[in-house]
Amino acid sequence: MALLLCSACSEPVSGALEVRNASGEAFNFEPEECFDGGEHGYWGVQFRDDKGRVVDIFKRDDVPHAIVYSPGRVAFEVELQACEVFEGRLERRAVNGSGTMKGNLILECDDGEGRQLAGDLVFKDCGVYDDGSDDSSSSYVSDDD
């Protein structure tokens, strides 16, 4: 019966990003978990894989950014509006202080200094926490529509 019930379960995040740092090292980032960025004090979403790598997608001064962390490597940041391809939507829903993020991203980014991000992610129900805020909903859409 448990298998039958779990067959209806879906993963909170799917997809992958190809990541290349400034020294030319590349890896395939396949997140297994996602969290509402509010858990870490920002509006956005955080993705984590089973190798300790993290990608944060967030807004700073209404401009979307990504930061890539990898154990033993220097973290790097990319301004997503400068990407060759940046499509997507991030939506945050807060009810009684508990927040979740959902959305999708398609990225093809090259910062001109060797750092690259490319791929797509689809996510929902990313993280639940109590931030004490009122019920609200906010979103970011990559185009000006």
Tell me which residue range forms the domain holding 47: 12-139
Over range 124-142, report the average pLDDT: 58
Quick check: is 99 in a domain? Answer: yes
The domain total for the chain is: 1
Quick check: is 37 in a domain? Answer: yes
Quick check: is 5 in a domain? Answer: no
Handedness of CA 33, 108, 110, 18 (dihedral sign): positive
Quick check: is 98 in a domain? Answer: yes
User: How far apart are alpha carbons 26 and 42 in whole angstroms?
Assistant: 27
Backbone phi, then psi, for 6, in 5-degree steps?
-75, -20
Quick check: is 6 in a domain? Answer: no
Quick check: is 3 in a domain? Answer: no
Over range 100-119, report the average pLDDT: 93
Cβ–Cβ < 8 Å for 19, 77 = no
Is pLDDT of 40 > 50?
Answer: yes
Torsion of CA 79, 82, 83, 89, to 10 degrees: 70
- Average pLDDT of the chain is 82
The conformation of residue 19, written as its DSSP 8-state character, comes to E
Over range 45-63, report the average pLDDT: 93
pTM of the model: 0.80
pLDDT score of 134: 45
Quick check: is 122 in a domain? Answer: yes
Could you report the per-residue pLDDT of 62-108, keeping only the tens digit for each? 899 999 999 988 899 999 988 999 998 888 887 666 678 899 999 99
